[in-house]
Chain A
């Protein structure tokens, strides 16, 4: 059984994003980039499924050439090979989903595991779009995955609790934070990952038009909150709450 795991290179989640002064975007020059945290969970889940019948894990990334580093991380964690679709232009979820569909058509994986959202654009779309384009089942926000030879049962995190769905294979899963705790790549595995196969492609190789549909007119900082006050004790806090009408 083959699993495809798309991964995205994003600003490291610990870094506070700085909005560029000219309003064109977030400053990504000389800042730490990492694999999107939800994608790490996706890679980890694919690896954990290796004793449940998964024989090959293919990691895919779409983006600038440096995304190679992100794929090497996936390979070091345990993916078997990687495909990089190089695009210097930013590719939107719809374009990514179309490229992934082309890759799925070529690779015929039984399962595609994606992160539920990338922490840069916060879109939460790609997995659902891919499932729609392929006409297959989707289980988003997965917190538990049980795989059999012809189906997968997924527990999903939904507002108010959890929900379980059973999907025929092939299927699309997007990961939520609680699905697993991703492993760290060990030094020997990082070394080994350097010799694992990594194919480089372009959107044109797949005949996919990734022209953006959205134009970002400007990016600004969110309104700043005004500095607050510190109160000395509970009585003062109670008085404030009463003044706000929150407490009687």
Chain B
């Protein structure tokens, strides 16, 4: 099988999410990458070094600076004439683009796969991760999104793929236009790739407390900062901090849940973490049923003490 992998990038470098998808793709056969964007030479050169990649296809066009699904889906469909599968990371971009590609190819997408069982069989979580389904596809072409935390990252160095320019010219924005974006400034590690995550919940009670209590601990541990939906909805932190079924799915080595009760929607986003540590004053909080290490008590006393002792 020959697979085409969507390269997630920010115009400058390849994002980590891509590497896990390459690992999934190598289980299916030969791997080609697609770098779509505007002025993507540097990204393509970096992508060509990823181990296990045969060819890096570039689609370089001003219309692709902000790759809208409407613009890139027809391009991918064209490239699929000589590929058997299209794989994208289950990021907001991948989730936006891949189903449109699938519909244009008249195939059923397999979302957010956790494993490749064989060429046509995959596992994926359903019901907020409360069940794992093994699904087999009858479609000749496959469109798949990959859960980044479920696969090892392919080595970013060591490969020497050839770079081939595809017909990125002649692309035009049609029905939709990009207006602008607001990307939150992050001085800490990115949530989805962090080794350690410190997450705060409703019990923090205010944005000030969140910054004063959670962030110093995160900085002490070199950790990314996450949040439950309750903390986001209450406005303590921006919504891209949210971990859960409707936010980001993470699987760090250590996940510290502070003042988070552990609703199933939150657990769906973090229960594959290697070690879960919970700090909560309610000893019956559901989070303690999944936590490897629990500490019952007032977070406003415990967390500053913990920070000072590290």
Contact of B131 among A93, A220, A226, A248 (CB under 8 A): A220
> Which residue from chain A places its CB closest to the CB of B185 in the assembled complex?
A161
Interface-facing stretch out of B44-52, B98-106, B163-171: B98-106
Distance from A27 Cβ to chain B, minimum over Cβ atoms (Å): 10
How far, in whole Å, are A246 and B218 apart by their CA atoms in the complex?
Answer: 11
Q: Interface code B181-218, partner A: CB below 8 Å = 1, 0 otherwise?
A: 11110100000100010000000000000000000000
* A interface majority secondary structure: mixed
Q: Are A247 and B310 in contact, CB atoms less than 8 angstroms apart?
A: yes
Q: Are B179 and A166 in contact, CB atoms less than 8 angstroms apart?
A: yes
Q: For B93, B109, B196, which residue has the most chain A Cβ atoms within 10 angstroms?
A: B109
Distance from A239 Cβ to chain B, minimum over Cβ atoms (Å): 10
Tell me, yes or no, whether A128 is within 8 Å of chain B by CB. yes
Q: Are A246 and B177 in contact, CB atoms less than 8 angstroms apart?
A: no
How far, in whole Å, are A238 and B293 apart by their CA atoms in the complex?
Answer: 11
Contacts of B97 in A (CB 8 A): 128
Tell me, yes or no, whether B238 is within 8 Å of chain A by CB. yes
**What size tier do the contact residues of chain A reach?**
35 or more
Q: Are B176 and A231 in contact, CB atoms less than 8 angstroms apart?
A: no
> Which residue from chain A places its CB closest to the CB of B117 in the assembled complex?
A217
Q: Are B181 and A161 in contact, CB atoms less than 8 angstroms apart?
A: yes
Q: Interface code B115-157, partner A: CB below 8 Å = 1, 0 otherwise?
A: 0000001000111111111111111000000000000000000
Distance from A189 Cβ to chain B, minimum over Cβ atoms (Å): 26
Distance from B80 Cβ to chain A, minimum over Cβ atoms (Å): 13
Q: Are B70 and A125 in contact, CB atoms less than 8 angstroms apart?
A: no
Tell me, yes or no, whether A42 is within 8 Å of chain B by CB. no
Q: Are A231 and B180 in contact, CB atoms less than 8 angstroms apart?
A: no
Distance from A4 Cβ to chain B, minimum over Cβ atoms (Å): 17
Tell me, yes or no, whether A219 is within 8 Å of chain B by CB. yes
Tell me, yes or no, whether A1 is within 8 Å of chain B by CB. no
Q: Are A235 and B96 in contact, CB atoms less than 8 angstroms apart?
A: no
6 A-B pairs within 8 Å (CB atoms) are namely: A94-B109, A129-B100, A129-B102, A213-B108, A218-B134, A228-B288
Instruction: Give 10 new A-B contacts, CB below 8 A, not counting A163-B182, A165-B68.
Output: A13-B265, A97-B103, A122-B126, A124-B111, A132-B102, A136-B175, A156-B92, A163-B66, A214-B138, A231-B295
By Cβ-Cβ distance, the 5 closest A-B pairs, closest first, are A128-B99, A132-B103, A129-B103, A213-B108, A125-B99
Chain A interface residues toward B at CB < 8 A:
11, 13, 16-17, 19, 26, 92-94, 97, 116, 119-133, 135-141, 143, 153, 156-168, 171, 176-178, 212-222, 225-226, 228-231, 233-235, 237-238, 240-241, 244, 246-248
Chain B interface residues toward A at CB < 8 A:
66, 68-70, 73, 91-93, 95-104, 106-112, 121, 125-139, 175-184, 186, 192, 196, 220-221, 229, 233, 238-240, 245-246, 248, 253-254, 264-265, 271, 275-277, 283, 288, 290-296, 302, 305-306, 309-310
